[in-house]
Amino acid sequence: MNSLATYRAKRDFSRTREPAGSPPRRPRRAAPQFVIQKHAASHLHFDFRLELDGVLKSWAVPKGIPTRQGDRRLAVEVEDHPLEYGRFEGNIPAGSYGGGTVQLWDRGRYEIPDPAPAKAWRRGKLSFVLHGKKLRGHWTLVRTRSGDAAKPAWLLIKTEESLPALSVNVEARSALSGKTLAEISRGRKIWKSSRPAAWEQGAASRGSAPGSFKARIQALAARRRPAP
């Protein structure tokens, strides 16, 4: 089965500028790529992706990537993405799947000591070393028994060492363009829908709509900032 079928079924490529993606490629011998995208959609989350089996295996990490040794965060497995997605930064039209703004938060190569990474992934335990622009070091992904079949719940665990905190500026900016989420969202193409997007409905029903998309992203970013 083409593991990108779900990815394609969820998206209308005449509306979104996300890549349709070429077929899964034969795994390369060179160090595979990883990418972390910050995604301001119905809620702000991080998308963590590891190149494996010719695609990007993907997890949504609602609370961000752990950086202190022993910290663990929920990572919900989502559909495989094409390798080209590792270069995607931009806006997904409101009303489309994942509508909102995507920032390429970090990327680089990663190493996996296991000689059979695809098998380790299927068994549900994957240890690796990231060599990114922002994140470098050891992490482990472990599948848990919770979550449903389509969205298995994993834990992303920081192992081996703690990392120094990133500066607010580095944390806020793209590893690709240097732009903040607000700056990326400003360049968006607007696709008009007859229905408001989910986040617009959500904000309206909470009675706290901050007015503009930019304001909402800034509010989300502020909420994510760790307590001093």
Q: Enumerate binding residues for Mn ion (CB under 5 A).
A: 39, 47
In the complex, what is the shortest distance from the CB of residue 147 to Mn ion, in angstroms, rounded to a whole number? 16
Q: Which of 59/139 has CB closer to Mn ion?
A: 59
Q: Cβ contacts of residue 40 below 8 Å, gap of 6+?
A: 100, 101, 102, 103, 181, 185, 216, 217, 220
Which residue lies nearer to Mn ion by CB, 97 or 191? 97
Least Å distance, CB 49 to Mn ion, is 10
Residues 61 and 157: beta-carbon distance below 8 Å: no
Least distance CB 98 / Mn ion (angstroms): 5
Q: Is the Cβ–Cβ distance between 42 and 32 less than 8 Å?
A: no
Q: Which of these, 153, 128, 139, lies nearest to 62 by C-alpha position?
A: 153
Instruction: State in angstroms the smallest separation of the CB of 39 from Mn ion.
Output: 4
Contact 49, 129 (CB under 8 A): no
The region that residue 120 occupies, defined by phi over 0 for left and psi between -120 and 50 for alpha, beta otherwise, is alpha
Comparison of 47 and 89: residue with beta carbon closer to Mn ion: 47
CB of 102 to Mn ion, least distance (A): 7
Q: Terminal CA-to-CA distance of the chain, rounded, Å?
A: 48
**Nearer to Mn ion among residue 49 and residue 143 (C-beta):** 49
Nearer to Mn ion, 89 or 120 (CB): 89
* Residue least distant from Mn ion (Cβ): 39
Q: Which is nearer to Mn ion, 39 or 143 (CB)?
A: 39
Neighbour-count burial of 216, counting CB atoms closer than 10 A to its CB (0-12 exposed, 13-18 middle, 19+ buried) = buried
State the greatest distance between any 2 C-alpha atoms of the chain, in Å, as a whole number.
53
Return the bridge partners of 57, or none: 50
Min CB(45)–Mn ion separation in Å = 6
Backbone angles phi, psi at 84, to 5 degrees: -60, -25
